[in-house]
């Protein structure tokens, strides 16, 4: 049923994109607790681009005089919104900042730094939630990102800047 909605030519692209954004909110619900593997990230990106391609449709190229499908860069330039993966990363950082500002005796903060005393499985260790937060924090805020967590206004400004970063230009109607 939803695929027929995206195929319908009578419904505007603007409405379809609004629906897609509400689907993103449903899809990323409780995303701050996810630890995504490389395969998970790839599948989420493929799904997102598939939906956008269905919404935006093919584009007529005047130079080559034929129809073409938008490339990934062109899609993200048209949409001008963070990807699902970036949204998950920002949600994770937002919740990390929230827990970091809590008092030491609060349960979420105690759980974050709890050591269960169990041994890990053999082989390459899986990424822990803290490992992904550390990596995402360095990506968004550089080296001094951990000091900014305790200042709420500075942390909000950093996350807002990461969310609204400029997207490359592309062709879009």
125-151 mean pLDDT: 83
Is 101 in contact with 93 (CB distance < 8 Å)? no
Count of all residues that appear for the chain in the document: 173
More confident call, 33 vs 136: 136
More confident call, 169 vs 35: 35
Is the pLDDT at 161 greater than 80? The verdict is: yes
Is the pLDDT at 37 greater than 50? The verdict is: yes
pLDDT tens across 89-110, in order?
A: 888 888 888 888 889 899 888 8
CA 103 to chain centre: 28
Tokens matching residue 57: 């449709």
Residue ranges of domains in the chain: 2-113+128-163
Looking at 10-162, which runs of residues are DSSP E strands? 59-61, 66-68
Q: State the pLDDT at residue 15.
A: 64
Is the pLDDT at 10 greater than 70? The verdict is: no
pTM for the model: 0.70
| Conformational region of residue 80, where left means phi above 0, alpha means psi within -120 to 50, and beta covers everything else | left
H helix and E strand count, the chain: 9, 2
């Amino acid at each position: 049923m939803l695929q027929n909605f995206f195929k319908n030519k009578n419904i505007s692209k603007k409405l379809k994109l609004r629906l897609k954004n509400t689907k993103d909110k449903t899809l990323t619900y409780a995303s701050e607790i996810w630890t995504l593997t490389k395969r998970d990230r790839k599948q989420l990106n493929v799904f997102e681009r598939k939906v956008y391609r269905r919404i935006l449709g093919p584009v007529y190229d005047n130079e080559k005089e034929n129809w073409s499908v938008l490339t990934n860069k062109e899609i993200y330039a048209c949409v001008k919104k963070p990807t699902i993966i970036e949204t998950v990363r920002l949600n994770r950082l937002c919740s990390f900042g929230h827990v970091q500002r809590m008092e030491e005796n609060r349960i979420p903060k105690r759980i974050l730094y709890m050591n269960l005393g169990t041994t890990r499985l053999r082989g390459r260790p899986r990424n822990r939630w803290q490992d992904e937060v550390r990596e995402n924090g360095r990506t968004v805020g550089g080296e001094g990102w951990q000091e900014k967590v305790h200042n709420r206004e500075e942390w909000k400004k950093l996350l807002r800047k990461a969310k609204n970063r400029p997207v490359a230009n592309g062709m879009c109607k």
